[in-house]
Amino acid sequence: MSEVSSQLPDSRPGYDYLIVGAGFAGAVLAERLASTGQRVLIVDKRPHIGGNAYDRYDDAGILIHPYGPHIFHTNSKQVFDYLSRFTAWRPYQHRVLSSVDGQLLPIPINLDTVNRLYGLHLSASELEDYFASVAEPVTQIRTSEDVVVSRVGRDLYQKFFRGYTRKQWGLDPSELAASVTARVPTRANRDDRYFTDTYQAMPMHGYTRLFEAMLASPLISVMLNTDYRDIVSLLPWRHMIYTGPLDAYFDYRYGRLPYRSLQFDHVTHPVEQFQPVGTVNHPNDYAYTRVSEFKYLTGQRHPQTSVVYEYPVAEGDPYYPVPRAENAELAARYAADAVAEPRVTFVGRLATYRYYNMDQVVAQALKVFQDLQAEPDTADDRPVAVSTSAAVTSL
């Protein structure tokens, strides 16, 4: 990719925008800003573009997602149309089975899940009656436990949700916001798709190619293997877009915001197909939560197959904001400081501490672009170097 360089960029006097992070948030804004003639420098400390959506071919020649399986789905025509400028698509509907009581059962819980688990022959309407009979009344749904027990009762909750959630987050579902398990619906029909969004598709040639197309403008310079702190006061820029962790930007002045991490164990098996669907969840056994087989996602044909095991851990790269009230309060303190940063805009999953999917990050970035257009920097138009620490301590 000729536009991508790990060298210091050329001798132009400066950049209009310094963008920290080359994931979806940073790449969308780089592309949009460059389309209006702005000069953009996008920096990432990793050796590649794409953020957590980055994909590459492994040693066996199989396209994998090094940071875990990324399946694109959205109800937003605007987001889908926007990304379609940079990629063709391969339709893909993700299916997940959960390993419970010695069977592989559909998750989200549906009619077949319940019938096969309990050896029943319920119809859809009988299943609704069944759920009503086992559901626990909850006056106010506050936690991730409330969401599930109030819908499907305690036994299904314990079999499908409690163990998985404890493993994934290191917390009991009763300690997590309702929004976490609410991501997974319950169905009385036989629909076994993980998502029901209008648009469900994978970039035809992978995410990295999509990002290359987004960053192809000659007005965009890409600097990899670089922590922005190492260059922030060396290069002139006018406005910063920051997509890294919110607390890190402020040197953890109010303490650490919890981000859950994962360790990925990538394995290539000498068989054409390893498991019956794209992802198998393991709520109750093993230290890993799920196993995903990439060829389902990508449609690639290959005599071997590559899978990834996800092991949740407390320390490591920040992957998930942890949705619970006390963390939201701490994030709000940082967010108040973020708003007060005159030359910096915070965008994306880590920088706004929101458990966002890719499409939500794209939508957020498109909105930020609109806002930047509507309220251009009132600051002096000349590019100036502003060191982050100076900007922060001047608050």
Interface residue with ligand FAD among 26, 321, 323, 383 (CB under 6 A) is: 26
Residues 139-178 that bind ligand FAD (CB under 6 A): none
* Residue 358 backbone phi and psi in degrees, to 5: -55, -45
116 binds ligand FAD (CB under 6 A): no
- Of the two residues 161 and 334, which places its CB atom closer to ligand UDP in the complex? 161
Residue 285, Cβ density class (10 Å: 0-12 exposed, 13-18 middle, ≥19 buried): exposed
Amino acid (one-letter) located at 73: H
Residue 283 interacts, among ligand UDP, ligand FAD, none and using kind-specific CB cut-offs from 5 to 8 Å, with ligand UDP
Q: Residue number with the shortest CB distance to ligand FAD?
A: 51
CA 336, CA 330: separation in Å to the nearest integer? Answer: 10
Interface residue with ligand UDP among 283, 318, 323, 348 (CB under 6 A) is: 283
- Of the two residues 261 and 268, which places its CB atom closer to ligand FAD in the complex? 261
Task: Count CA atoms within 13 Å of residue 54 on its CB side.
Answer: 15
Amino acid (one-letter) located at 2: S
321 binds ligand UDP (CB under 6 A): no
Q: Which residues contact 132 (CB under 8 A, 6 or more apart)?
A: none
Interface residue with ligand FAD among 108, 173, 203, 244 (CB under 6 A) is: 244
Span of 44-52, 164-172, 321-329, 369-377 interacting with ligand UDP by CB under 6 A? 164-172
25 binds ligand FAD (CB under 6 A): yes
Contact assessment for residue 29 and residue 369, using Cβ atoms and an 8 Å cutoff? yes
Binding mask 74-113 for ligand UDP (x = CB under 6 A): ------------------------x--------x------
165 binds ligand UDP (CB under 6 A): yes
CA 214, CA 355: separation in Å to the nearest integer? Answer: 24
Binding mask 34-73 for ligand FAD (x = CB under 6 A): ---------xxxx----xxx-------------xxxxx--
Interface residue with ligand UDP among 97, 180, 361, 386 (CB under 6 A) is: 180
CA 20, CA 6: separation in Å to the nearest integer? Answer: 14
The least CB distance from residue 254 to ligand UDP, in Å, is: 26
The least CB distance from residue 355 to ligand FAD, in Å, is: 8
Residue 265 interacts, among ligand FAD, ligand UDP, none and using kind-specific CB cut-offs from 5 to 8 Å, with none
Contact assessment for residue 220 and residue 30, using Cβ atoms and an 8 Å cutoff? yes
- How far is C-alpha 348 from the geometric centre of its chain's CA atoms? 9
Span of 101-109, 114-122, 140-148, 352-360 interacting with ligand FAD by CB under 6 A? 352-360
CA 324, CA 81: separation in Å to the nearest integer? Answer: 33
Contact assessment for residue 291 and residue 311, using Cβ atoms and an 8 Å cutoff? no
Number of residues that bind ligand UDP (CB under 6 A): 13
Residue 76, Cβ density class (10 Å: 0-12 exposed, 13-18 middle, ≥19 buried): middle
Interface residue with ligand FAD among 280, 348, 363, 368 (CB under 6 A) is: 348
- Give me the residues that bind ligand FAD (CB under 6 A), please: 20-26, 43-46, 51-53, 67-71, 227-228, 243-244, 262, 319, 348-350, 356-359, 361
